[in-house]
Amino acid sequence: MFGAIVWKEFQTELTNFRVILASLAAILLVGITTYVACLEFNQRVKSYQAKLHALSQQEQDIYVYSQLHPHLLRQPEPLSILSHGPDSIENAEVEINIYSLPVEPVGNYHGHAYQSLLSRFDVTEVIIFVLGLLAFLMTFDALCGEKESGTLALILSGAVPRAVLFGGKFVAVALCLALLLLILYLETIGVILSAADLSSSSLDWGRYTFLFMTYLLYVVVMILAGLMVSGTVRRSSTSLMVCMLLWILMVAAYPQAVLSLSHLRAPRDEIVQMEVQRLRAERDQKIKSYKGSRALFGAVRTLDQTTFVVRAFNLLPTSVTDYEKFIGHQNRVLLDYAQRIGQVELAARQQRLRHLFYTQLLAALSPAYALKALSQSVAGTSEWNHEDWLAATRLYREAFLNYLDSKQGLFGRRWFTDDPPHWEFSMRADLVKLGQDPSRRLTLSDLPRFQYRPRSLPSAAPLAVGSLLLTLLGLLFIISGIGFARYDPRAG
Amino acid sequence: MKTSFSLMLSNQRRQPVGAGPISTILAREVIEHLQTLRFILSAVILTALMIVSGLATSASYRQVWKQYDTNLNNQERGLRTLATLVDVVNFRFTATMPPDQWAFMIGAQQWELPHQVALTFLNRGEPTKVFTYPGQESASLLSWIQVVAFFVSFMAIILLFDAINGEGDTLKLILSNPVSRFQILAGKALAAYGVIGSSLLTGILCSVLVILVVDAIPFHFEVVYPVGLFFGLASIYALIFIFMSLAASAYFKQPTSSLAFLLFVYLLLVAIWPSISGIIAKVVSPAPSALTVQQQVESLQRDVATQYLPRGIRSEGAEKDGYLWERNLDQFICALSQRHQSLTDLVVERRVNQIRTMQRLAEISPSRLLAAAVEGGVGSDLNQHESFLRQAENYQAAIQGYVRQMDALDSSSLHLLCAGAYYAATFGAASPLPLISNKKVEPQSIPRFRFAPSTSNERPREALYSAGMLLIELLLLMALAHRRFARAEIR
């Protein structure tokens, strides 16, 4: 009996004109969106590689350790083709130095400076809008339509339990949409493999498939919502109207309103900025108050320029040993304050992330937003994945500082010169010699390299969103089931 | 709806002398709408969205204004510390577009465009976005335009998708009376506009009231212009969807078919087409990618270097050869910065062109036409942005003029301004050579940036094209709805 209902409903849905139209629209839109996202991804990869190349060139031209500031780049995520994250964190980059902790990244790809004006669609958004609509269009008259035409009472009089009828309709629509998702899955694979600069081995197939499973989860929730409405109201036109109101509430109005309202209680940065500026001033004061610094730096204005100016002009009247002592003092102060400033900035970022987390959790009461958040974290493009990456860069900074210290390049004279200990500067000649003597370049083969492995388990935020979606699914199932169990099948 | 028409028929016999059929239909339709769940629900949602939008955008505006103010103060403080021309050529000036509250609230486009230009004596960078809310996409900010574009059109569809095909037998009955089809159509359209327009007006007024109370802003009559303009244009937009729904309702026999059709058109026009036009604009009028620009800058440096930069480094007796090396360097730096500048300008120009193409294409969609008309009217559109870019360019010219003028007064300077600026950028004030004047300057005399927005008299002309197109779309749809309804078979 169950099989017969599923098969009949499945056939009816597949031959329905509006289902065919919406499916074709979805296939077309997903194709176009994936193709455009592939082109953008290629550009980002090119930009990433060019930057990597430029950095490795720079690394070959380093003579003293003060010149060494490794730049860490985040590789573009292949799955960002299907679900891109916030624009600001695409191709993020941080500089590792002794002055600061990596807290906020700087993007090195500005391809969207103007394009973000009209929102960039990704595959996930097409699924949210079009498949969500399709789920409603397929279910709004599933139960009340039968009632209107008088067939519901007939079916129920023929010893078909309500649970079987409800289950059969649900499974049939879910199968139809699963079939469409399968087509979209194959379509996106085809487009990505042909248009993106990616080999099939560099794509994480597990995550790719999991992403489509989350799409299916969303579609199933929408189907249940549609059935719930259809099993509650009497007329199919009312049902359709309610479904459409629900749809626009879920996919656009509610998440947008929550995200907008979150601006009202957004953490303010001014106090943090003032604290950071105060600490910076205190730091500079401590460095300047070093005994004898006036004699060392009569004309030098900023700290960053010291090493360069020392090399370029004859501005060091006193001995290298004195300067070495000063550098030891300066770098200790810098490291200490980098830690303190970093802690302040990190606390502010943590606060912002907490705020974002609660906002997202509230917005994720709408399945559409829940899918968006979930798919971003599966694709590795969410703010939380990014935070993981930043934490890894902070760990790397520790390793890097240990390396500098082990080479006597942090507090000693190797910070600013590679001359043997008994030598004193002979300034301008030294500069010329330095620029023309490649043998004096640093060999950095033993420099620890940055490695980032995205963690396999998603972090707390997407897990919470995912479980919220599942809870919603269960709730809808119960509500719509109970609703249909009490439904009056008599027409009119 | 069935009941409304039967009621109306019975009422018609009792209608007062002088009241035409249109007003009767109008009154009954309005009462009918006011009692339906769909109207109550959507009106509540619309008002809530407008209030949320007002609160959120004004909170965001305050934050942006604070950032702008801090920026301006920092810049001013920096300017006051400048003591010599070397400091001036080394200083990082910024030209920033100040936020305008009502333009910001109504149409958030201005804040999607880059609005700060950093410049020095030598070069002027690409405009950047500096006021952003970290960790969130700016798209999450709901502006009034977005609410109207997405929701008012939806409301019109929901209220009217079954206006004609949902009537059933009553339509036949009413047409047997001396009432023309045109009168029925006009009555229905006016009634729908009445309820949608009044909910929109309520939403706007609530939003404005909440902002005035919460933000404690004193009321100014200047507010009336942007808010009135917004309401007028939003009304045309609502009417477009009202007539579209009536036409579809007259064409399709089943209400579900007309609703499905209208939703497809809605999705296509409001959400999909504007995004697709962005893609098309990228193909039709491509802007160079960041990578291409970087490569072009590198090749430019190589070109200019081989052309101008003499081999070797500065010789010891530079004073004797009349600072020949520095004079060569000056030419090199001047040429480099000039060509670099024209490259940056080209990139910016291409991007602006691209966005213009995108907007022109997107204007097939009434939601983009509405946005363009309102943005043009309140001064948050691309023209304003371009005017800002021009003003930033003029500001750099003013700084260059100032440096040249001050430097010319000093006879001990070599007047090698480009090389001097390059040295200043590299070594700070430590440059030992008299490439440019080293005399004291008065910080007050250094030019400041003041953005001059286009006045409200100039703006309507910019918005006129989009508003005109919106009206043409409305007239076409009115004609279509009338024709469809006139030909509709009533059984």
| pLDDT tens column, A264-295 | 776 677 788 889 989 988 888 887 777 665 55
- Cross-chain residue pair A117–B290, CB shorter than 8 Å: no
Question: So what's the pLDDT on residue A340?
Answer: 94
Question: So what's the pLDDT on residue B108?
Answer: 57
pLDDT tens, position by position, A385-400: 888 889 999 999 999 9
- Residue B54 CA to residue B48 CA, distance in Å, equals 10
Q: What pTM was computed for the model?
A: 0.81
**Chain A residues near residue B274 by CB distance under 8 angstroms:** 118
pLDDT of residue A309 exceeding 80: no
| Total residues found in chain B within this entry | 491
Provide CB contacts within 8 A for B368, sequence distance 6+. B274, B277, B359, B362
Q: Considering only CA atoms, which of B352, B345, B343 is closest in space to residue B296?
A: B343
Angle between helix A367-379 and A205-230 (nearest 10): 180
pLDDT tens, position by position, B168-215: 777 778 777 777 888 888 999 999 999 999 999 999 999 988 888 877
Rounded to the nearest angstrom, the minimum Cα separation between B162 and chain A is 9
**Chain B residues near residue A236 by CB distance under 8 angstroms:** 256
- Residue A346 CA to residue B128 CA, distance in Å, equals 25
Mean pLDDT of B342-349: 87
Cα dist from A123 to A21, A84, A187, A477, B280, whole Å: 18, 9, 11, 27, 18
For residues B9 and B173, the answer to whether their CB atoms sit within 8 Å is yes
Hey, is B97 helix, strand or coil? coil
- Cross-chain residue pair A260–B63, CB shorter than 8 Å: no
Name the residue with higher pLDDT: B134 or A477.
Answer: A477
- Residue B415 CA to residue A156 CA, distance in Å, equals 98
**Chain B residues 342-361 within an 8 A CB cutoff of chain A:** 351-352, 354-355, 358
pLDDT tens, position by position, A177-191: 999 999 999 999 999
Cα dist from A466 to A58, A382, A456, A463, B427, whole Å: 44, 14, 16, 5, 55
Asked which of A67-71, A415-419, B78-82, B436-440 is least confident by mean pLDDT, the reply is: A415-419
Alpha helices, DSSP H, located in A289-382: 293-296, 306-312, 320-363, 367-379
For residues A268 and B63, the answer to whether their CB atoms sit within 8 Å is yes
User: How many CB contacts within 8 angstroms connect chain A with chain B?
Assistant: 174
In this structure, the number of other CB atoms found within 10 A of the CB of residue A326 comes to 20
Rounded to the nearest angstrom, the minimum Cα separation between B311 and chain A is 14
pLDDT of residue B471 exceeding 80: yes
pLDDT tens, position by position, B228-281: 989 999 999 999 999 999 999 999 888 888 888 898 899 889 888 887 887 788
- Residue B353 CA to residue B386 CA, distance in Å, equals 11
pLDDT of residue A439 exceeding 80: no
Largest CA distance in chain B: 111
pLDDT band at A299 (very low <50, low <70, confident <90, very high): very low
For residues A36 and A201, the answer to whether their CB atoms sit within 8 Å is no
Question: So what's the pLDDT on residue B263?
Answer: 86
Backbone angles phi, psi at B7, to 5 degrees: -60, -45
**Chain B residues 424-443 within an 8 A CB cutoff of chain A:** 426-430, 432
Question: So what's the pLDDT on residue A289?
Answer: 74
- Residue B420 CA to residue B121 CA, distance in Å, equals 10
- Residue B273 CA to residue B98 CA, distance in Å, equals 32
Pairing mode, if any, of strands A106-107 and B93-96?
A: unpaired
**Chain B residues near residue A383 by CB distance under 8 angstroms:** 135
- Residue A272 CA to residue A340 CA, distance in Å, equals 12
CB of B152 less than 8 A from some CB of A: no
Q: What percent of chain A has pLDDT over 90?
A: 17
A199-213: string of b/e by CB count within 10 Å (b at 16+)?
A: eeeebbeebbebbbe
For residues B189 and B480, the answer to whether their CB atoms sit within 8 Å is no
pLDDT tens, position by position, A121-137: 789 988 998 899 999 98
Provide CB contacts within 8 A for B156, sequence distance 6+. B192, B196, B238, B241, B242, B244, B245
Q: Is the ipTM of this complex over 0.90?
A: no
For residues A111 and A202, the answer to whether their CB atoms sit within 8 Å is no
- Residue A249 CA to residue A365 CA, distance in Å, equals 11
Provide CB contacts within 8 A for B180, sequence distance 6+. B21
Mean pLDDT of A233-252: 86
Q: For an interface test with A, which of B50, B263, B423 has the most A Cβ atoms less than 10 Å from its Cβ?
A: B263
pLDDT band at A65 (very low <50, low <70, confident <90, very high): confident
Radius of gyration of chain A (CA): 31
- Residue A53 CA to residue B144 CA, distance in Å, equals 46
Asked which of A56-60, A96-100, B287-291, B443-447 is least confident by mean pLDDT, the reply is: B287-291
In this structure, the number of other CB atoms found within 10 A of the CB of residue A455 comes to 11
Mean residue pLDDT of chain A comes to 80
User: In B390-476, where do the E strands start and end?
Assistant: none
- Cross-chain residue pair A241–B259, CB shorter than 8 Å: yes
Bridge partners of A94?
A72
Hey, is B303 helix, strand or coil? helix
In terms of CA atoms, which chain B residue is nearest residue A384? Answer: B135
